[in-house]
Amino acid sequence: MAMLANLCEKSYAAEARYVNFYAGGDIAWSSDGQHLYCLNGGVVNQVDVETSQILQSFGISSGQNDQKPTSLSDIEEEEDTIYCFAVSHDHLVTAHRSGLLRLWQISPKKMVKLWKSQHKGPVVKLEFSPCGKIVCSSGGADATLRLWDHTNNSCLCALKDYPGPAMLLRFHPNVLRREIYAVGSDNMIYGWNFESKKLIHKMRGHLSQVTGLTFRSGQQDCNDLVTVSRDKVIIAWQLMAEDDQLDAKQMKVLPLYDELEGVVYVKEGTKLLVASGSGKLQEIDRTSWKIKEVLAQTDFQINHLLYCTELNQLALATTEQNILFYDPDSMEPIKHLVGHNDEILDMCFLGDNDRYLAVATNSKHFKLYDTERQMNCKLIVGHTDTVMSLASSHNLLVSVGKDYSIRLWKLQHEHECSLEEVMKQTNCHTSTIGCVAMTHNGATGFATVCQDGSMKVWQLLRDKKDVKSYSFQLLYAALAHDKEVNSVSYALNNKILATASQDKTAKLWSSEKNSVMGVLRGHSRGVWSVRFSPVDQIVLTSSADCSLRLWSISNFACLKRFDQECSILRAEFLDHGKFIISAASDGLLKLWNIKTNASIQSLDEHTDRVWSLAVSERSNRFFFTGGADSKLIRFSDVTQITRNEALDQRQSILEQEQTLLSLLHAQKNLKKAFVLALTLDKPKASYDIIKNFVRERNETAMVELVDQLNVDQRVALLKHVKAWSTNSRHSQVAQLILKHLLGDALMDSKFRFYDNANMVEVLTPYVQRHFKRITEMKKELAFLEFIVKCM
């Protein structure tokens, strides 16, 4: 039991993964508003709007059934990039670089059809009809629309009366109106009756790319159509009922003086919402045509405007692949999903019980996640260049970056997941500010370090009259290192500062005056991070020389060293200083026991450099990691769960062993006993059972015993045969079972479990040795028989 406790002394597991799910291009919202479908290279991801987690992926690289291939014929082909897709209630259709169209059933996930698009060049746009039975595709090199009835496996028609390709397709929302509308390369809108294959509308009015087209309602008599374009104009059309009239009537033309990217009807067709590329959202009254600006946003550029009728919510997709959700009535933000992160450079907790997580992602905007509200996110805007580092103390946060500025933020308690900028100072350093650290147990100051080797220590002041007013002033500045400073950290008592640099050293400083207390020398390459222990008088450093080192604050001597396989970029103390978590350039996280100097766990979740670690000091039960692979992963303490599982497993094994002994002792139900012996990996017990049948010359029962086994159990039996073969006394039984196993494998492909090189290498010499021994014995018997006959 003591050994079991040591094995489970500390264990962490990935609880949630927040990865890139949208890389630009097509994006669609499910009719019930629960899911988003986002294009991401070779796959279309189905994303849960509530949790921002990927539920399933559609595409060749994701696998058709999310199962491992069982034979050569099941191995997936190479990734086939998806150019566009469309979604109906039950199906999703994707257009691939290979020229193929694939139809997927959404639930359960399954590819149901595959056919050639028959277009010249790539397919650039797909659209489902309102009934979901017809798919329209537009080719990139030919001026053709093709309509496919996927239920009957037929091409209904090819429409060619327009200059292609069509970057925008819309069916009439009423299923009885067999009409489809497309925007040609001449910026005109064309409408066909695809049942009669006749061009019925040809609308001229826009001078630039038409980006949005919407109908007022889904009624059969609905002839109100609105289009927007990058020519900064919105046009309301009245479709003419006469068959001989191609030009629809322009009811209203409104200039909006901004490039437009989308339009939707809201409030039962009484209002129009128009999205501008610059980030503005304008509301137009359908009766009076009065324009009202409802969202003035200049920090984001909008690419797509989506509306969910079921939830009455808007979604804006930006050029940085962020999806912003709003209530169209009040225009209050509801949620924010991050479709794509760049490299995650730094992160830190703030707020009560470490509720919020601030993350810098190689962008001038950093993100604030609410860990208690399904990782709801808010973009914090203010810096003019990349944010490099973040540091916090309770409700205050300091951000620094490549714009040489320092900005102080405070949580707004009246609004969830919101920061207010309370102070900023520009040109604080002469080079990129690479790292910042704040004091513990109340924000009284902070320190910043720079790529030019300098360090500045700042005193944070609060106005006694106005509690909301803050200011900071320089306490002292120092040329800390000869090369770039990578990290800075405060001791728990705030009296000592530590810096780590590319000059292979770390230094300890007095936080109140410009004086060096000591230099930590020993690393053979640059030092990436430095941290103080929360309980002991020691300092932890991680370096590019693939080592972690613990140093004494009193005499600056190296106390312990831990070695990893590659550069260690970050390291933090866990569980009140008892353990260390380290992050390396290969993406591997390692958990170290300081007392035993042992690596007790490796966490292989990242695929690239891990730049940042954020440990929750309040709970000490979880931490977040982020790096160059853009993954944000939450790890939780599962020590108790792992220990309980190990105890339960041990209890189950003891019960099975007791059952096996009882069955063998009573010589009852040998089939069950044989399966238990294989499960518990007891070669002696399985040999005794087989030997019993051989002794009784009951080969039929032995064959039945082997035939009842599944593939996994046969593999286990083969391993037992390997153990038996090492002793010549057991060779007879071993060869009988081996003959039966290999015979079945040769006759039935589903039992081909012997493709294990090690198994073949081990068995072959023993089988040859036993065969040679039997051959020699036969020769000796023949010679004895000859002598007896001669006598």
Q: What is the pLDDT of residues 274-287, one digit of tens each?
A: 999 888 999 999 99
Across residues 138-162, what is the average pLDDT? 90
Q: What is the pLDDT of residues 183-230, one digit of tens each?
A: 989 999 999 999 999 999 999 999 999 999 999 988 888 889 999 999
Across residues 446-463, what is the average pLDDT? 91
Query: Phi and psi dihedrals of 494, rounded to 5?
Result: 65, 10
Owner of token pair 């064309």: 190
Amino acid at 197: K
Q: What is the pLDDT of residues 767-789, one digit of tens each?
A: 777 777 778 788 888 888 888 88
* Banded pLDDT at 692 (limits 50, 70, 90): confident
Amino acid at 256: L
Least confident of 162-166, 266-270, 416-420, 654-658: 654-658
392 strand-pairing partners:
397
Whole-model pTM: value is 0.79
CA distance 419 to 412: 6
Look at residue 75 in the predicted model and tell me its pLDDT: 35
Mention every residue, 6+ apart, whose C-beta is less than 8 A from residue 245.
none
Distance in Å from the first CA to the final CA of the chain? 69
Which ranges of 237-364 does DSSP label H, i.e. alpha helix? none
pLDDT at 65 over 50: no
Q: Which two tokens stand for residue 426?
A: 């520009």
Mention every residue, 6+ apart, whose C-beta is less than 8 A from residue 130.
171, 172, 173, 174, 175, 218
* Banded pLDDT at 242 (limits 50, 70, 90): low
Question: Nearest-5° angle of CA 293, CA 181, CA 93?
Answer: 95
Q: What is the pLDDT of residues 88-124, one digit of tens each?
A: 999 999 999 999 999 999 989 999 999 999 998 899 9
Owner of token pair 């069955």: 663
Across residues 659-673, what is the average pLDDT? 75
Q: What is the pLDDT of residues 565-590, one digit of tens each?
A: 999 999 999 988 899 999 999 999 99
CA distance 138 to 773: 75
The mean pLDDT of the chain is 86
Q: Is 108 buried (19+), middle (13-18) or exposed (0-12) by CB count in 10 A?
A: exposed
- Residue 331 C-beta-side C-alpha neighbours within 13 Å: 11
Across residues 318-342, what is the average pLDDT? 90
What three-state secondary structure class fits 704?
helix
Pairing of strands 610-615, 622-627: antiparallel
Look at residue 72 in the predicted model and tell me its pLDDT: 32
Q: Which two tokens stand for residue 225?
A: 């159509």
* Banded pLDDT at 749 (limits 50, 70, 90): low
Q: Are 635 and 616 in contact (CB under 8 A)?
A: no
Q: What is the pLDDT of residues 528-576, one digit of tens each?
A: 999 999 988 999 999 999 999 999 999 999 999 999 999 999 999 998 8
Q: Are 380 and 408 in contact (CB under 8 A)?
A: no
CA distance 167 to 184: 8
Look at the alpha carbons of 634, 639, 645, 649 in this order and tell me if their dihedral is positive or negative: positive
Mention every residue, 6+ apart, whose C-beta is less than 8 A from residue 44.
37, 38, 57, 58, 59, 82, 85, 92, 94
pLDDT at 381 over 70: yes
Radius of gyration for the chain, computed over Cα atoms and rounded to the nearest angstrom: 35
CA distance 525 to 355: 37
Q: Are 520 and 541 in contact (CB under 8 A)?
A: yes
3-state secondary structure 209-254: CEEEEEECCCCCCCCEEEEEECCCEEEEEECCCCCCCCCCEEEEEE
pLDDT at 24 over 70: yes
pLDDT at 126 over 90: yes
Look at residue 786 in the predicted model and tell me its pLDDT: 81
Owner of token pair 């690289």: 61
CB atoms within 10 A of CB 110: 12
Long-range contacts of 318-326 (CB under 8 A, 24+ apart): 318/279, 319/24, 320/363, 321/20, 321/22, 321/23, 321/24, 322/379, 323/22, 323/27, 323/36, 324/300, 325/49, 326/281, 326/295
Among the listed residues 572, 654, 562, 649, the one whose alpha carbon sits nearest the alpha carbon of residue 614: 572
Q: What is the pLDDT of residues 501-527, one digit of tens each?
A: 999 999 999 988 889 999 999 999 999
pLDDT at 790 over 70: yes
Across residues 148-176, what is the average pLDDT? 91
Amino acid at 300: F
* Banded pLDDT at 734 (limits 50, 70, 90): confident
Can the peptide bond before residue 130 be classed as cis, meaning omega within 30 degrees of 0? no
Across residues 487-501, what is the average pLDDT? 93
Look at residue 764 in the predicted model and tell me its pLDDT: 67
Q: Is 443 buried (19+), middle (13-18) or exposed (0-12) by CB count in 10 A?
A: buried
For residue 32, what is the DSSP state? T
Q: Are 115 and 156 in contact (CB under 8 A)?
A: no
Mention every residue, 6+ apart, whose C-beta is less than 8 A from residue 728.
770, 773
Q: Are 608 and 620 in contact (CB under 8 A)?
A: no
Across residues 157-167, what is the average pLDDT? 88
The pLDDT > 70 percentage for the chain reads: 92
pLDDT at 612 over 90: yes
Look at residue 182 in the predicted model and tell me its pLDDT: 94
pLDDT at 758 over 60: no
Helix H or strand E segment including 508 = strand 505-510
The pLDDT > 90 percentage for the chain reads: 53
* Banded pLDDT at 5 (limits 50, 70, 90): very low
Look at residue 77 in the predicted model and tell me its pLDDT: 46
